[in-house]
């Protein structure tokens, strides 16, 4: 199974699953295991697709205890496969971005005193001031977003400082809202972690610093000055910026190296070597960027629960309609990102209203119509072009309420846009949703890419597809047609993010 060389363990703590992968230095996979939150713990935690929802307030959140139980379970599953956990030299991970975990004043002591005879969830019951972590799909913070932009003057100025305009899911606005809603909880919070630094903390046995890339998903980190933004800390903390700065802690500047050795809990319980190091954990999107040495103009598109479009670039060109993050490992390099909530789940909604096929393949009908429908459903001269927008959840870019909209326009000139009140045939939506998702990515990334020749709109270079949706040939074909890129490649690393987490 292994060449007896060192092994590396990478985690992916995403919205719906916790996955673990063990690789060798040549990136070959030794073993892997996963916990599916709904399948393994759905009944116990009453979650759906990994989260709980409070529709009335737009809150979306996950129980922290669920993640603790999942970590023990995924390690147990690796052990059951006889994975030589004692040969693991380093651990790292990639985690859903923006979520925050609130530690109590007892946290450090409890983390440092874990014993192998009990579970994480039992021993850390008193380590949190809040049982839930807000999730990136949360959209409860419009008021706080307005305040963030007001504090900096404009959305442009906020983006210039923090890499992004204000976003519902960004951690600073979430912290500000929770401080208002649960003042007692905020006071009894000693430290706040991102999901990535939370998972790293469990392995370290003490609270880990946030990493230099994931910290840019908070609207609190001033990227050009490389420090917490004082006016934004002041706003989010209600006038006690030093207290919030202490809760957030120092940010680790070095994306590589070891932050310390794995805690004795993992040594005694799972037979890890006491010399095994814990490297910084980061967000799932920065980790995806690490999975591939991207060339200028190349993009990675991750077709997961969310859809993200990622590029690596040395130019810091922030704009309110997209995100800039520090590159996770290379100082002076940045990650450009577009993020859509209505990615995979929205395509599933369109799929689910189509009749199911006899073969049992849930995508068969959707794929058939996506491929058989003509581009923009223009079959003959004179047909009007069809364009649809499918935002079943309130969208991030554009910041718009939930809804579906359908339009037609003149197919040759693009003029005469008209909203269609009566939905067209549901079969047409299969192609229209992929087209509109692809065109949005092409349009919004155009400042960073170039036009292949005069008169044509800008397009990315090569596009590498990863994530669950990349396994669907109809989706990838239609996306490719709309991007007009130099080539669209499916990355044959189903494990892309976790490999990114390992390296
Ligand atoms: C990125 C974002 C999502 C999550 C998904 O800004 O919100 O891609 O990271 O896990």
Q: Which atom of ligand 1 lies nearest, measured to the CA of 284? A: 9
9: number of Cβ within 10 Å: 29
Name the residue among 56, 153, 476, 448 with its Cα closest to residue 302: 476
Q: What is the pTM of this model?
A: 0.90
Q: How confident is the model at residue 5 (pLDDT cuts 50, 70, 90)?
A: confident
- What percentage of the chain carries pLDDT values higher than 90? 83
CA of 87 to the centre of ligand 1 (A): 32
Q: 253: which residues sit within 8 A by CB, 6+ positions away? A: 212, 226, 331
Domain with CATH 3.30.420.40 in the chain: 7-280, 289-373+426-503
User: What's the pLDDT tens digit per position in 416-443?
Assistant: 999 998 889 999 999 999 999 999 999 9
Name the residue among 288, 336, 339 with its Cα closest to residue 315: 336
Protein residues whose CB sits closer than 6 Å to any atom of ligand 1: 14-15, 96-98, 136, 169, 217, 283-285, 306, 308, 339
> DSSP assignment, residue 411?
T
**What CATH class has 289-373+426-503?**
alpha beta
Name the residue among 31, 1, 3, 17 with its Cα closest to residue 502: 31
Name the residue among 55, 12, 13, 5 with its Cα closest to residue 30: 5
- The whole-number pLDDT of residue 492 equals 64
CA of 340 to the centre of ligand 1 (A): 8
Query: ∠ CA(289), CA(501), CA(11), 5° rounding?
Result: 140
User: What's the pLDDT tens digit per position in 61-109?
Assistant: 999 999 999 999 999 999 999 999 999 999 999 999 999 999 999 999 9
**What CATH class has 7-280?**
alpha beta
User: What's the pLDDT tens digit per position in 301-310?
Assistant: 999 888 999 9
User: What's the pLDDT tens digit per position in 154-182?
Assistant: 999 999 999 999 999 999 999 999 999 99
- The whole-number pLDDT of residue 497 equals 54
Q: How confident is the model at residue 2 (pLDDT cuts 50, 70, 90)?
A: low
CA of 169 to the centre of ligand 1 (A): 9
User: What's the pLDDT tens digit per position in 205-249?
Assistant: 999 999 999 999 999 999 999 999 999 999 999 999 999 999 999
C-alpha separations of 388 from 209, 366, 385, 420, 474 in Å: 43, 16, 10, 9, 18
Pocket test for ligand 1, best of 93, 308, 341, 444 (most atoms within 8 A of CB): 308
User: What's the pLDDT tens digit per position in 286-325?
Assistant: 998 988 888 888 999 999 888 999 999 988 999 998 999 9
- The whole-number pLDDT of residue 446 equals 86
The protein residue with its alpha carbon nearest to ligand 1, atom 10, reads 96
Q: How confident is the model at residue 485 (pLDDT cuts 50, 70, 90)?
A: confident
């Amino acid at each position: 199974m292994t060449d007896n060389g060192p092994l590396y363990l990478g985690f992916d703590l995403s919205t719906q699953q916790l996955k673990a992968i063990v690789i060798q230095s040549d990136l070959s996979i030794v073993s892997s295991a996963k916990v599916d939150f709904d399948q393994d713990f759905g009944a116990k935690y009453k979650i759906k697709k990994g989260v709980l929802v409070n529709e009335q307030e737009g809150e979306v959140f996950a129980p922290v205890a669920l993640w603790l139980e999942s970590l023990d379970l995924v390690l147990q599953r690796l052990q059951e496969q006889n994975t030589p956990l004692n040969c693991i030299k380093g651990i790292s991970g990639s985690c859903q971005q923006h979520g925050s975990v609130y530690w109590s004043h007892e946290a450090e002591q409890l983390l440092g005193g874990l014993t192998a005879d009990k579970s994480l969830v039992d021993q850390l019951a008193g380590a949190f001031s809040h049982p839930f972590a807000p999730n990136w799909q949360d959209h409860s913070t419009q008021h706080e977003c307005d305040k963030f932009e007001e504090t900096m003057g404009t959305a442009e100025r906020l983006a210039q400082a923090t890499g992004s305009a204000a976003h519902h899911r960004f951690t600073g606005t979430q912290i500000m809202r929770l401080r208002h809603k649960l003042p007692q909880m905020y006071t009894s919070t000693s430290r706040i972690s991102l999901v990535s630094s939370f998972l790293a903390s469990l392995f370290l046995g003490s609270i880990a610093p946030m990493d230099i890339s994931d910290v840019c998903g908070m609207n609190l980190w001033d990227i050009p000055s490389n420090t917490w933004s004082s006016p934004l800390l002041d706003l989010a903390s209600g006038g006690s910026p030093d207290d919030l700065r202490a809760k957030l802690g120092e940010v680790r500047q070095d994306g590589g190296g070891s932050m310390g050795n794995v805690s004795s809990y993992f040594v005694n319980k799972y037979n890890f070597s006491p010399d095994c190091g814990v490297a910084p954990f980061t967000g799932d999107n920065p980790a995806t960027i690490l999975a591939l040495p991207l060339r200028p103009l190349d993009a990675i598109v991750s077709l997961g629960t969310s859809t993200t479009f990622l590029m690596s670039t040395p130019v810091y060109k922030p704009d309110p309609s997209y995100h800039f993050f520090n590159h996770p490992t290379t100082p002076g390099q940045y990650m450009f990102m577009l993020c859509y909530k209505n990615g995979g789940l929205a395509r599933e909604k369109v799929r689910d209203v189509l009749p199911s096929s006899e073969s049992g393949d849930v995508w068969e009908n959707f794929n058939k119509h996506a491929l058989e429908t003509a581009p923009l459903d223009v079959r003959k001269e004179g047909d009007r072009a069809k364009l649809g927008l499918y935002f079943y959840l309130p969208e991030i870019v554009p910041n718009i309420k939930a809804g579906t909209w359908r339009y037609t326009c003149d197919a040759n000139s693009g003029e005469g846009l008209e909203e269609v009140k009566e939905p067209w045939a549901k079969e047409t939506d299969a192609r229209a949703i992929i087209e509109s998702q692809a065109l949005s990515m092409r349009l919004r990334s155009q400042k960073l890419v170039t036009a292949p020749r005069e008169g044509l709109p800008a397009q990315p270079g090569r596009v590498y597809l990863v994530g669950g949706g990349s396994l669907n040939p109809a989706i990838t074909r239609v996306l490719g047609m709309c991007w007009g890129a130099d080539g669209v490649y499916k990355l044959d690393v189903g494990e892309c993010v976790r490999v990114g987490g390992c390296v």
